[in-house]
Structure 1
Amino acid sequence: MTVFDPKYTISSRLLENIKRIATLIYELNNRSFSRVVLLELIKRAHEISAHASTSIEGNPLALTEVKKIIKKHPKHIRDSEREVLNYNSALIWLDKLTRKRDAKFDLSLLLNIHQAVMAGLMPVSQCGKLRKEAVFVNDPAKRETIYWPPDQQDVKALMQDLFDFVSQNKDEVDSLILAGIFHKQFVVIHPLMDGNGRTVRLATKVLLSAMGLNTFNLFSFEDYYNQNVAKYFAQVGVKGNYYDIYQQIDFTSWLEYFTDGIIDELLRVANVLEQKSVTPQTILRTHHQNILDYIKKHDFITDKIYSTLTARAKPTRNQDFNRLLDLGLIERVGKGKATIYRLK
């Protein structure tokens, strides 16, 4: 086998998608929202992700049931409920990991993700381990085998080759393209006995967070795939014997679809944020925005600095700071004259 060198073309559609995603991310990153709104959206995103990613794999639970399970966390559960709780727990764990920037993207992290999503759902000897048996992929509608993944003895080398490709190209190839290529090639290798889909969708989120798009907190691109599961499988999967087709696989169509999904989710989140942010409790006035803009540019602000930017009296300036503190947008550091305010 040769070193992994994926075949793809930067089509006009793919290029436009990448440009649009960059613009949407910039706009979202430069807007300020109350902590109340963000916490509500984070909760909603976790519920949708846990529902969508398990639903793609055949979990029958409706979104309303998923919400109840995540909220109540029952002790005695069926496998379908365990799938949801495992996925939600993995989301929370990886969210914390990426926030600390401690997520080294390697095979070890991938197997830990698999361990988290499949705990209690498969034999311990297979959980968090690369497969040691041959597998095949069936078309449930036609009841026939459509894909034969690589032999088990080649899996570890193929996965290491994939991780090496990501590592060696992280400064050369756009993060969206890297994340998309990783996602599809993982599916092509099919390195795990079960849970490949859930594992790769979470791993892809880790890669995307590296480009400043924290999909754990606000986004659920799994839902885009779940809206048309047949299309997702047709785009991400391949047919035939791996050894006959691996050098002919073209990633272009998948990358277009992959970035379409990210745009769809970015637009959805932007729309939800807009609707939830315009309330008497959360709306920001010009003087509030001036404070936030100054902090974004200079890292912090003090009351003395603020007094040079506005004619508002000191008691009113205190109210301005308190409003932003109450909304969870800034934090107070220090006391008395040494007090500074930073973004939270």
Structure 2
Amino acid sequence: MTWQPKYIITDKLLLTIREIGESIGEIKAQQLTHSRLAKLELSARELSSYASTSIEGNPLPLTDVKRLLKTHKESIRDTEREVLNYNSALQSLYQSVSQNRFKLSVKTLEHIQGQVVDGLMENPSHCGALRQDPVIIRNPRKTDEIVFIPPDAKHVRPLTKELMAFVNAKSGKVDPVILAGIFHRQNVIIHPFIDGNGRTTRLLTTAILGQLGLDFFEIFSFEDYYNRNVTRYFKAVGLEGDYYDLADDIDFSEWLEYFSEGILDELRRVIKILPEPSSAKPRLEPHHQQVLDYIYERGSINQREYGGISQRSLSARKQDFEKLLRLKLIETKGTGRGTYYVLPDTPL
């Protein structure tokens, strides 16, 4: 029998999904440059790597996480490795989605969990493989109190396959927010691994949103919404009791309202840090954008390099650089024949 989750598309959920669409439209209207998008993506990865590991108890503050992601330390503590693992997995998922290589499957799930817990598990068999042992979820404040008993290990693979099949079958037929939300909660309930379940689930939820067409998924961090009230998140996403006593009555409606609120909240945060739209926005010709794209990909450009990718005359190329400098879209480095141009190092 094919698994079918129970949920109602409430008025509240419908309104939130509509507001998510409007918020994405507002971001699109900004016509963000590659450099601005790159900075927003970096900021989102920093925030996600901090928030998602913080949810699981990692004590590193955001300032330390940002510093860690910018350096290449040879000797790292487990708390630092946890953050670096998350960031690495997030980057690989961004790339696979953008290159249309992402495929939701048990193999993908195991691969991501393997990245998340790499170097952190005492038993290597628990890394990158569905669990073969029973687990019990306890109250972190009262370790003798059992909160939830997930499915037996023998049922983990079939339950996970059913979940993957549902999401893949409904792709393009059900709103991405609803599908990603259903995956998120059901995967947490199945608890397919000994460790790393929450981080793995949040990573794949991000990838699902991107794969199913939620624009700008790379520049927001819905994990931050959960981290601001971890108790509420755990209460919303989890269950209390024995899975087999609860399985037939699990309703995703309230969770989907909460899940969509988190996405909308984060999109609004991103909008707040974007520059105010200008009615007198400067017009850029294709050759101007060609210069910016080249710098974004290569890091810098000089007159010779511009001449190699453009048929424009030397005087026209000089005018192009002058215009981009006036608009503060590029900066000059070096002098004389060593002059080259880079993107400005400005805050978001």
Q: Which residue of 1 aligns with 2:149?
A: 148
Q: Which residue of 2 aligns with 1:97?
A: 96
Q: Which residue of 2 aligns with 1:305?
A: none
2:233 & 2:271 partners in 1: Cα distance? Answer: 24
Q: Which residue of 1 aligns with 2:283?
A: 288
Task: Determine whether 1:197 maps to 2:192.
Answer: no
8 Å contact from structure 1 (residues 37, 273) kept in 2: no
1:273 & 1:89 partners in 2: Cα distance? Answer: 26
Corresponding letter in the other structure for 1:146: V
After superposition, the C-alpha distances for 1:245-303 in whole angstroms (9 at most, x for unaligned) are 0110110110000000000000110111126xx7xxxx7844517x58xx9xxxxxxxx
Corresponding letter in the other structure for 1:124: P
2:164 & 2:329 partners in 1: Cα distance? Answer: 41
Q: Which residue of 1 aligns with 2:118?
A: 119
Q: Which residue of 1 aligns with 2:309?
A: none
8 Å contact from structure 2 (residues 138, 147) kept in 1: yes
**In the TM superposition, what are the counterparts of 1:313-328 in structure 2 within 5 Å?**
319=320, 323=324, 327=329
Residues 9 and 20 (structure 1), Cα distance of their counterparts in 2 relative to 1, 3 Å cut: same
1:74 & 1:287 partners in 2: Cα distance? Answer: 42
8 Å contact from structure 2 (residues 134, 152) kept in 1: yes
**In the TM superposition, what are the counterparts of 1:39-78 in structure 2 within 5 Å?**
39-78=38-77
2:73 aligns to what SS in structure 1? coil
Corresponding letter in the other structure for 2:11: S
Q: Which residue of 2 aligns with 1:311?
A: none
Q: Which residue of 2 aligns with 1:134?
A: 134
TM-fit CA distance, 1:172? 2.0
Corresponding letter in the other structure for 1:57: E
TM-score of the aligned structures, taking structure 2 as reference length: 0.80
Task: Determine whether 1:226 maps to 2:257.
Answer: no
Corresponding letter in the other structure for 1:288: R
Q: Which residue of 2 aligns with 1:247?
A: 248
8 Å contact from structure 1 (residues 288, 320) kept in 2: no
TM-fit CA distance, 1:113? 0.7
Q: Which residue of 1 aligns with 2:301?
A: none
Q: Which residue of 2 aligns with 1:303?
A: none
Percent identical pairs in the alignment equals 45
8 Å contact from structure 1 (residues 130, 156) kept in 2: yes
Q: Which residue of 1 aligns with 2:182?
A: 181
Residues 12 and 216 (structure 1), Cα distance of their counterparts in 2 relative to 1, 3 Å cut: closer
TM-fit CA distance, 1:46? 1.0
Q: Which residue of 2 aligns with 1:110?
A: 109
2:53 & 2:44 partners in 1: Cα distance? Answer: 14
8 Å contact from structure 2 (residues 176, 213) kept in 1: no
After superposition, the C-alpha distances for 1:308-343 in whole angstroms (9 at most, x for unaligned) are xxxxxx969x64996399849xxxxxxxxxxxxxxx
Residues 285 and 319 (structure 1), Cα distance of their counterparts in 2 relative to 1, 3 Å cut: farther
TM-fit CA distance, 1:23? 1.5
Q: Which residue of 1 aligns with 2:341?
A: none
1:125 aligns to what SS in structure 2? helix
Residues 174 and 319 (structure 1), Cα distance of their counterparts in 2 relative to 1, 3 Å cut: same
8 Å contact from structure 1 (residues 208, 215) kept in 2: no
Structure 2 unaligned residues grouped into runs of 5+: 290-314, 331-348
TM-fit CA distance, 1:195? 0.2
After superposition, the C-alpha distances for 1:63-115 in whole angstroms (9 at most, x for unaligned) are 11111111113111111010001011111111111111111111111111111
**In the TM superposition, what are the counterparts of 1:30-41 in structure 2 within 5 Å?**
30-41=29-40
TM-fit CA distance, 1:124? 1.8
8 Å contact from structure 1 (residues 6, 251) kept in 2: yes
Q: Which residue of 2 aligns with 1:339?
A: none
1:147 aligns to what SS in structure 2? strand
1:214 & 1:57 partners in 2: Cα distance? Answer: 28
Q: Which moved more, 1:170-179 or 1:252-261?
A: 170-179
2:146 aligns to what SS in structure 1? strand
